[in-house]
């Protein structure tokens, strides 16, 4: 039976693709990759006989029609998407027509750009007693946000915010977060093409400066915005340490050390 796999290609570096994804690519009969976001290098493990198509100029209907057309006999068909298919990947929109056609579907997760960006910048998205919550979201543009999910409302939590698809809306980022109680000197990191060899850029600034910094750097697409009270902690003289590794903290693998009087 034919099966269509929705595979996360990760943030850009082909070496960050999962082992399962690599194995599927190596046995695929057809691959439709999102060429506007996914490096063609992610298809390097495909067999010579594999049909490979770039979808950057295709509509949703054309994408699903192509996947259905390639799903014959015992074919393994891959829709290769950027990051992780479950996050801003239009997954359900593409799966529904396949369900209606009676075609089996599978999903392989991938490294999303928020994680890759934090890694590239050597930042932690959480820090003990500083922030233990991470919100993945975006700023309202042509697509409206659901009720209760405006940036101002989310920003009131004062936790880590990872903003996708919003690099052209940095003024809205500033306005929304100032309204939520953040200050203009709040640290912000923008990572353009996280993990892409020779293309990655990391811009560090504040709510007040980041728009102009990104303009000067020519960054207007494919960028992750991270705002967090934990940014820059690497340079702090003191931080709260995790209890997990505290010598005075017991857990099921280690007993606490005796306190010396």
Per-residue pLDDT of the chain (261 residues; tens, 9 = 90+): 899 999 999 998 989 999 999 999 999 999 999 887 777 778 889 999 999 999 999 999 999 999 999 998 889 999 999 999 999 999 999 999 999 999 999 999 999 999 999 999 999 999 999 999 999 999 998 888 999 999 999 999 999 999 999 999 999 999 999 999 999 999 999 999 999 988 999 999 999 999 999 999 999 999 999 999 999 999 999 887 776 666 566 666 667 765 544
Q: In sequence order, what are the beta bridge partners of 5?
A: 78, 106
The secondary element (H helix, E strand) that includes residue 170 is: helix 170-179
Asked if the structure places residue 255 within a domain, the reply is: no
Give the pLDDT score at 41.
73
Asked if the structure places residue 162 within a domain, the reply is: yes
Give the pLDDT score at 246.
61
Q: Cα–Cα distance between 71 and 122 in angstroms, integer?
A: 42
Residue 117 and residue 195 in one domain: yes
The domain that holds 29 is classified in CATH as 3.40.1010.10
Q: Cα–Cα distance between 233 and 127 in angstroms, integer?
A: 9
Asked if the structure places residue 202 within a domain, the reply is: yes
- Residue 131 has, within 13 A of its CA and on its CB side, a CA count of 20
- Give one word for 249, left, alpha or beta, with left for phi > 0 and alpha for psi -120 to 50: beta
Give the pLDDT score at 260.
47
Residue 11 and residue 79 in one domain: yes
Residue 7 and residue 77 in one domain: yes
Asked if the structure places residue 249 within a domain, the reply is: no
Q: Cα–Cα distance between 158 and 166 in angstroms, integer?
A: 19
Residue 45 and residue 144 in one domain: no
Q: In sequence order, what are the beta bridge partners of 131?
A: 127
Residue 16 and residue 121 in one domain: no
Q: In sequence order, what are the beta bridge partners of 108?
A: 7
Q: Which domain holds residue 123?
A: 113-235
Residue 124 and residue 173 in one domain: yes
Give the pLDDT score at 239.
80
The domain that holds 164 is classified in CATH as 3.30.950.10
Q: At what angle do helices 210-217 and 170-179 cross, to 10 degrees?
A: 170
Residue 100 and residue 212 in one domain: no
- Residue 63 has, within 13 A of its CA and on its CB side, a CA count of 24
Residue 92 and residue 121 in one domain: no
Residue 224 and residue 161 in one domain: yes
* Residue whose C-alpha is closest to residue 172's, from 232, 130, 227: 227
Residue 104 and residue 121 in one domain: no
Is 162:226 a contact under the CB 8 Å cutoff?
Answer: yes
Residue 177 and residue 72 in one domain: no
- Pull the structure tokens for residue 115: 């994680």
Q: Cα–Cα distance between 122 and 58 in angstroms, integer?
A: 36
Residue 117 and residue 216 in one domain: yes
- Pull the structure tokens for residue 159: 């936790």
Q: Which residue has the tokens 């992780």?
A: 84
Give the pLDDT score at 142.
85
Give the pLDDT score at 198.
86
Q: Where are the alpha helices (DSSP H) in the chain?
A: 19-27, 60-70, 91-100, 113-120, 151-155, 170-179, 210-217
- Give one word for 17, left, alpha or beta, with left for phi > 0 and alpha for psi -120 to 50: beta
**The domain boundary residue, chosen from 108, 136, 158:** 108
Count how many domains the chain has: 2
Assign 217 to helix, strand or coil.
Answer: helix
- Pull the structure tokens for residue 141: 């543009």
Question: Do the strands 30-33 and 51-54 form a parallel or antiparallel pair, or are they unpaired?
Answer: parallel
């Amino acid at each position: 039976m034919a099966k269509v796999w929705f595979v996360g290609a990760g943030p850009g570096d082909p070496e960050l693709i999962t082992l399962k994804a690599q194995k599927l690519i190596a046995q695929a009969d057809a691959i439709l990759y999102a060429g506007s976001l996914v490096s063609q290098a992610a298809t390097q493990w495909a067999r010579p006989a594999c049909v490979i198509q770039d979808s950057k100029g295709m509509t949703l209907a054309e994408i699903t029609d192509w996947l259905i057309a390639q799903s014959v006999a015992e074919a393994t068909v891959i829709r290769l998407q950027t990051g992780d298919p479950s996050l801003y990947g239009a997954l359900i929109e593409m799966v529904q027509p396949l369900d209606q056609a009676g075609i089996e579907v599978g999903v392989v997760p991938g490294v999303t750009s928020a994680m890759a960006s934090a890694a590239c910048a050597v930042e932690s998205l959480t820090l003990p007693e500083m922030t233990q919550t991470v919100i993945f979201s975006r700023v309202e543009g042509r697509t409206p946000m659901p009720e209760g999910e405006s940036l101002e409302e989310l920003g009131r939590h004062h936790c880590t915010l990872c903003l996708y698809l919003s690099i052209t809306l940095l003024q809205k980022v500033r306005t929304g977060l100032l309204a939520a109680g953040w200050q203009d000197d709040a640290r912000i990191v923008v990572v353009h093409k996280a993990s892409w060899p020779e293309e990655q850029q990391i811009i560090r600034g504040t709510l007040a400066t980041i728009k102009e910094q990104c303009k000067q750097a020519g960054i207007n697409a494919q960028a992750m915005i991270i705002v967090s009270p934990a940014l820059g902690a690497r340079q702090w003289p003191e931080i709260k340490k995790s209890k997990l590794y505290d010598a005075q903290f017991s857990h099921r693998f280690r007993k606490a050390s005796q306190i010396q009087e």
